[in-house]
Amino acid sequence: MNSSMVIGQYVPGDSPVHRMDPRAKITIIFFFVIVVFFANSVASYGSLALFALLSVGITKIPPRFIAKGLKPVWFLIIFTFILHLVVTKEGNVLFSVLGFDVYSGALIQGVAISLRFFLLILITSLLTLTTTPIAITDAIESILHPLKKVKFPVHELALMMSISLRFIPTLMQETEKISKAQASRGVDFRTGPIKERLKAIVPLLVPLFVSAFKRAEELAMAMEARGYQGGEGRTKLRELALRKVDYAVLVLFTFVIIAVFLTRA
């Protein structure tokens, strides 16, 4: 397992979450993303956090692996928290740091928004960590199947989304390799004026784009060589079917949604 980036990466396993129908997982994540914006109290955030952490525990994926893989977004979470401390001027002044007054409302809002951001990233990462790209494609195609009646390219859209998710960790690894290669040649990405640092990114972006286009071309040729003609007339090796455990988890998540709305401030 590569722990540099968990978004888009699949970790094989035999946990109950791995065995769940991908349509049930996508449905839960879709409504989780909506409901998290309605949470505005300790109890409502606690309900969502408990559900997310229990989901992580059931996957049997090491929490340290997930935490390390989320390292790229930790900066955004911390930056969001600090930004609210500086900008928001609500409530009473708690203390001052470097001439800036930190208000109680700013602290509460900063924690809430940062926690919301963290839960969104964590729960959406679980989809790709526990579901293969093929299963995600089949699930999206099944959910959007009614749109086929209006000639909407459902299969092609689902395929593009799953390929995009699959190549996120690949491109991140490629970026890391190229940056290390450029650093060994004396390119400095971390120090110096902003203008010079922006110029230093060019030797990183050019080979990255070349590599991405090359991978896309190789993938297209491989699909064409295997006779891929789109979704029309294609059959599936495994048919998706909701089981008792899927219905049970959906019912449990329904109670979580009810708890969130009942405990809103």
pLDDT tens digit at each of 265 positions of the chain = 554 566 667 888 889 999 999 999 999 999 999 999 999 888 999 999 999 999 999 998 888 888 877 777 888 888 888 888 888 888 787 777 777 777 888 888 888 889 999 999 889 888 888 988 888 888 888 888 888 888 888 878 887 877 887 787 788 788 888 888 877 877 776 676 777 777 777 778 888 888 888 888 888 898 888 877 766 666 666 778 888 999 999 999 999 999 999 988 7
Three-state secondary structure string covering the chain? CCCCCCCCCCCCCCCHHHHCCHHHHHHHHHHHHHHCCCCCCHHHHHHHHHHHHHHHHHHCCCHHHHHHHCHHHHHHHHHHHHHHHHHCCCCCEEEEECCEEEEHHHHHHHHHHHHHHHHHHHHHHHHHHHCCHHHHHHHHHHHCHHHHHHCCCHHHHHHHHHHHHHHHHHHHHHHHHHHHHHHHCCCCCCCCCHHHHHHHHHHHHHHHHHHHHHHHHHHHHHHHHCCCCCCCCCCCCCCCCCCHHHHHHHHHHHHHHHHHHHCCC
Per-residue pLDDT tens for 171-197? 878 888 888 887 787 777 667 677 777
Read off the pTM.
0.75
